[in-house]
Structure 1
Amino acid sequence: MLYRIRHHGNTAYLFGTIHVGRPGFFPLEPQVTRALESAGKLVLELDVRDDAPFQAALKKHGLYMGDDTIEHHLSSANLAQLRNTLRQFDIPFENIRHMKPWIVANLLIGLDLERNGYRRSDGIEMFLLSFASKQSKTVQELESAELQMALFDSMPDATQEQYLRENLAELGDGEAMKRSQALIDAWAKADSKALDDIVRELPKEKTATAEFTRSVLLDKRNPEMANKIEALLRNDKTSFVGVGLLHLVGERGLPNLLRERGYEVEKLY
């Protein structure tokens, strides 16, 4: 999905990304590469080439300190399910013992995607960064690793445990990959209806994962992202903004928020 946002002669292209990919996804559509070529600046949620901020935020928000470990935060049933899932992924329990439940869940989801041929090294952001580097474009971040991890860490202990439990169940029955595949397929086909359906279903799902995704990862971040895009439109002639695909869809998605604020929003495809 690619949008063109205009304001007083300035333009921001808004492109929906997915954070994993396959080599066959590239090159991207000509409309995307032309928009990126014309932009003076590439703007992403994070510059994923820089690992240091991620590691610092991980230590602060994703790990237990001292003698505290994940065993102290899970019921015996959930701990047993976690150990079982770790064996299926050939991960020693000791490797994740000091990690909080939310980051263990996200780690396992990422490994499940890798097993099915999708890797972060082939993610859309990496392609955009490589493209921009060849043209010596400025790269700017919309957010920070600190912000993103703090949002996950804001979940209370009980919610983190529920988040892990739900994701372990979906990893076990294949539902996790089914959901990921549906999103990837919708991105690959530029299927707006499928994407709208995914976002529309979130409030109907009475799970910690769905509620956190909707209320925190989308509804809380989108207005702040819109503020940053407004600043780009005030200060930059042309910029190219790549953000996670789900930030672009639904009534509270970025295109609608910017349209409500009076900007000219045109969907290119």
Structure 2
Amino acid sequence: MTRAPTRLRTWLGSALLAFSALPSSMAIAQEPVKASAVRPALWKVADKDTTIWLFGTIHVLPEQVDWYAGPVAKALDSAQELVTEIPIGATEQAQSTILHMAARKDGKSLRDTLPENERVAYEGALASIGIPAQAFDANDAWFAALMLTLIPLKTAGYSTDTGIDQQVAAKARERKLTNHAFETVDYQIGLFDNLSDTTQRTYLAEVVDALPKVRTDVDQMVAAWKTGDADHLAELMNEDESDPEIRRVLITDRNANWARWLKSRLDKPGTVFVAVGAGHLAGPDSVQEQLAAAGVRSVRVQ
């Protein structure tokens, strides 16, 4: 079995924000199709007076899917509070934040910071998707890596409009649910911006190497999500992560923070629907594993 490239997982956690930095003209018009039925994974955490539903989302999809059905629909309909990675509506101000943080502050061109072999490969990757070599010269390596991952997806029709987060948010607005966000836009983008230069360059080099397979690999992740195959999704997204800084910053530490909040939330009565990127609810160091380490049990519902 072919695994997704190590760094592809990283865009899934920030695609909702990063897509706002892409020109809208890159999308290809899609013919309307009937939404396909899916059975994404759902977990339940509960005590005598509190219920917390854990639902893994896919931030961008290539077509509409019928996710709002069965246990997932019942769980969301029963909730008084929606918990998300960033506040509902935050993507509206994300573009300026991303572009500000991604701007180089050392006075150097991105390409000038790359060894010759990496620069040649990087320029070739940009050319392969019709992007000028100088396009991201004024940006940090993490931003160039995200754009190289997302541009082919947007060109292929992937969109946040068909992604699950915006649809969950719309239903929450209709019901006027209270919204708690684990993180702010600044914090989430800052996770990338504060990565060491070495890690950022390694990230970029691996994305360049993986570029020809981006669409195929992400399609595999989406297929696993649609069937609720959390184990396969974890294998595709997380288990091949070799960089300890990336794993700690983007997976382990965040999941641990979220699990601490969720454990504390059990002290307050009510029903909570948590909608976060599916990668956080799969594999080693998942939110469920962090909860279990703290003595809190989660049960798979779908």
Please give the range of the TM-score, normalised by the shorter of the 2 chains: 0.7 to 0.9
Give the structure with the higher percent helix: 1
Amino acid across the alignment from 1:64: R
Equivalent residue number for residue 186 of structure 1: 224
Is 1:92 the counterpart of 2:132 in the alignment? Answer: yes
Is 1:65 the counterpart of 2:98 in the alignment? Answer: no
Equivalent residue number for residue 116 of structure 2: 76
Q: Secondary structure at the match of 2:44?
A: strand
Where does structure 2 lack aligned partners over 5 or more consecutive residues?
Answer: 1-40
Deviation at 1:53, TM superposition (A): 5.0
Equivalent residue number for residue 164 of structure 2: 124
Amino acid across the alignment from 1:117: G
Q: Report the Cα distance in structure 2 between the residues aligned to 1:66 and 1:195, rounded to whole angstroms.
A: 38
Q: Report the Cα distance in structure 1 between the residues aligned to 2:292 and 2:59, rounded to whole angstroms.
A: 26
1:111 aligns with one of 121, 143, 151: 151
User: Does the CA-based 8 Å contact 2:84-2:181 persist in structure 1?
Assistant: yes
Amino acid across the alignment from 1:260: A
Q: Secondary structure at the match of 1:118?
A: coil
1:237 aligns with one of 246, 250, 270: 270
Q: TM-score w.r.t. structure 2 length?
A: 0.78
Q: Deviations over 1:32-89 (max 9, x none)?
A: 1111111111111013632365245424532113743313321233223222222232
Deviation at 1:107, TM superposition (A): 1.4
Q: TM-score w.r.t. structure 1 length?
A: 0.87
User: Does the CA-based 8 Å contact 1:53-1:146 persist in structure 2?
Assistant: no
Deviation at 1:213, TM superposition (A): 4.5
Q: Report the Cα distance in structure 2 between the residues aligned to 1:135 and 1:259, rounded to whole angstroms.
A: 31
Kindly report the root-mean-square deviation, in angstroms, between the aligned alpha carbons of the 2 structures.
2.3
**Cα gap change, 1:22/1:133 in structure 2, threshold over 3 Å: closer, same or farther?**
farther
Q: Report the Cα distance in structure 2 between the residues aligned to 1:52 and 1:199, rounded to whole angstroms.
A: 27
Q: Secondary structure at the match of 2:138?
A: coil
Is 1:261 the counterpart of 2:299 in the alignment? Answer: no
**Cα gap change, 1:233/1:23 in structure 2, threshold over 3 Å: closer, same or farther?**
farther
Q: Secondary structure at the match of 1:224?
A: helix
User: Does the CA-based 8 Å contact 2:221-2:237 persist in structure 1?
Assistant: no
Deviation at 1:200, TM superposition (A): 6.7
User: Does the CA-based 8 Å contact 1:202-1:214 persist in structure 2?
Assistant: no
Query: Identity over the aligned pairs, expressed in percent?
Result: 25
Q: Report the Cα distance in structure 2 between the residues aligned to 1:48 and 1:165, rounded to whole angstroms.
A: 33
Equivalent residue number for residue 246 of structure 1: 279
Q: Report the Cα distance in structure 2 between the residues aligned to 1:111 and 1:169, rounded to whole angstroms.
A: 15
2:233 aligns with one of 184, 189, 195: 195
Is 1:219 the counterpart of 2:257 in the alignment? Answer: no
Q: Report the Cα distance in structure 1 between the residues aligned to 2:66 and 2:43, rounded to whole angstroms.
A: 19
Q: Which range moved further: 249-258 or 216-225?
A: 249-258
Q: Report the Cα distance in structure 2 between the residues aligned to 1:266 and 1:63, rounded to whole angstroms.
A: 43
**Cα gap change, 1:179/1:80 in structure 2, threshold over 3 Å: closer, same or farther?**
same
